[in-house]
Amino acid sequence: MTLPSQLKKLRHLSRELAADFGTRAARHDQERSLPLENYALLREAGLYGLAVPETYGGSGHGLGGWTIAGEELAQGCGSTALSFAGHVAATGMIMEDAGVDEEAKRRLARQVIDEGKLIALPDGQAGAPLLASRFPGGFRLYGKVTQATMWEAADCALLLARPDPGSTEEITLLVPTRGQGITVHDVWQALGLRAIRSQTITLDGVIVPDQMIVARHPVGSSAWALGAGTAAALGIGVGIHQLIRRVVAGGAPTADSERRLAQMACELEAARLALRHGALLHSERSPSAHRQFLTARYLTCLAVSNASRSAVSACGTRSLMQQLGLERLVRDAVTAISLTPDEDQLLYQIGKMEVGGMRRPTQGEESRYAAL
């Protein structure tokens, strides 16, 4: 696949950053520390505005650009790429939402480009959205947020809240990550991706001024939600493949090791093409983009899982040498593909679409399948 010159420059820049990230990845994994210097380098490189259109002062690379940059960055540090994917997805969601007014978009662009603010995109809010209690000039937020990746490093987080407990109305806000009423519960003790420090956050009367309201409706995009994290997960698998190639090439390759390498290469390439095709459909506003991203995520899970399992078999005990870093990559890979949605959840959703496309949907399913 031939890339335009701008995307080639983005790939080259991302590879340079990844090489630098790789010099600290093991330390951050061992210490379970946030890669703050990596976020600073991403800001200096202009990548905070990757998903911001050029009309607002960003680079305008969009989701297609991130599928390239995220894959490269993850080969240096999976934790940095996966956590930063939340920032990219949050800005992309807001900028592409037609219901977000121009002033809110310009304000966001100033925050991430001019002020260098980092945005967290938590994976979950425990149960219902946060409760927003109105006061003159803003809201006080109450509730709990789970799987808040990069919260301690970010300046704000994109969250949903409900102004009236008895209503279904929801608003989207940029909420400060530090201040009175915010408690961080250190619960992230996963096998891999230790440097993302995904936490549980309790909000007890946190003040959010009116100017931090993004929209009077939920802002979200399945394409960004699926595509951003999948690009980082794919990059971890590619990192495993590249490391195994070097180890095998430096020894005496066997027929089995060559076959396993070939299988890795084919499966990872299939996942890459599926992901980039999803980004293309998304840029064309195609209704089939969501289905394509589900497929890309599933193929990525398969490819990365198989690469992890075949790694030691492909190059023997040499792969277990500590300085190679394979052990960390495998732990990161297993953790990345276990995050929601996992393989079973993806197959369930794709299967429902398969069946829904062949029979008349029930009344409750009509709206769900309307966009297919």
CATH code at position 64: 1.10.540.10
Report how many domains make up the chain.
3
Last residue of a domain, one of 86, 103, 119: 119
Specify if 317 maps to a domain: yes
- HSE, side-chain direction, 13 A CA sphere, residue 103: 5
214: region left, alpha or beta (phi > 0 left; psi from -120 to 50 alpha): alpha
Could you list the residue range(s) of the whole structural domain that residue 302 is in? 222-354
- Do 176 and 208 touch, CB atoms closer than 8 A? yes
Mean residue pLDDT across the chain: 90
347 vs 299: CA distance, rounded Å = 11
Specify if 273 maps to a domain: yes
- Quote the pLDDT of residue 188: 82
Map tokens 């789970």 to a residue: 146
CATH code at position 289: 1.20.140.10
Task: Based on the fold, state whether residues 181 and 234 are members of the same structural domain.
Answer: no
Specify if 248 maps to a domain: yes
Task: Based on the fold, state whether residues 98 and 193 are members of the same structural domain.
Answer: no
Task: Based on the fold, state whether residues 236 and 301 are members of the same structural domain.
Answer: yes
- Quote the pLDDT of residue 367: 43
Query: 54 phi and psi, to 5 degrees?
Result: -60, -30
Specify if 361 maps to a domain: no
Residues near 309 by Cβ (< 8 Å), separated by ≥ 6? none
- Quote the pLDDT of residue 368: 40
Question: pLDDT for 289-313, tens place per residue?
Answer: 999 999 999 999 999 999 998 888 8
* Residue 352, CA distances (Å) to 68, 218, 226, 289, 313 in order: 30, 24, 18, 16, 36
- Quote the pLDDT of residue 125: 55
Task: Based on the fold, state whether residues 244 and 345 are members of the same structural domain.
Answer: yes
Task: Based on the fold, state whether residues 37 and 102 are members of the same structural domain.
Answer: yes
Query: Widest CA span of the chain, in angstroms?
Result: 72
> Pairing state of beta strands 182-185 and 156-162?
unpaired
Task: Based on the fold, state whether residues 143 and 248 are members of the same structural domain.
Answer: no
213 vs 139: CA distance, rounded Å = 9
Last residue of a domain, one of 58, 86, 119: 119
Task: Based on the fold, state whether residues 339 and 253 are members of the same structural domain.
Answer: yes
Nearest to 139 by CA among 109, 168, 176, 106: 176
37 vs 28: CA distance, rounded Å = 11
Specify if 209 maps to a domain: yes
Specify if 162 maps to a domain: yes
- Quote the pLDDT of residue 263: 95
- Quote the pLDDT of residue 168: 81
Amino acid letter for position 370: A
Specify if 176 maps to a domain: yes
Task: Based on the fold, state whether residues 59 and 175 are members of the same structural domain.
Answer: no
Task: Based on the fold, state whether residues 162 and 192 are members of the same structural domain.
Answer: yes
Mean pLDDT of successive 10-residue stretches along the chain, which has 372 residues? 88 98 96 97 97 96 97 98 97 95 96 97 71 91 93 96 84 95 91 93 95 91 91 98 88 85 96 97 94 97 94 74 82 93 92 74 45 38
Task: Based on the fold, state whether residues 200 and 96 are members of the same structural domain.
Answer: no
Task: Based on the fold, state whether residues 229 and 349 are members of the same structural domain.
Answer: yes
179 vs 207: CA distance, rounded Å = 9
Last residue of a domain, one of 155, 182, 215: 215
- The structure tokens listed for 227 are 């595509």
Specify if 87 maps to a domain: yes
Task: Based on the fold, state whether residues 314 and 301 are members of the same structural domain.
Answer: yes
11 vs 1: CA distance, rounded Å = 13
CATH code at position 159: 2.40.110.10
Taking the whole predicted model, whether its pTM rises above 0.85 is answered as: yes
- Quote the pLDDT of residue 124: 61
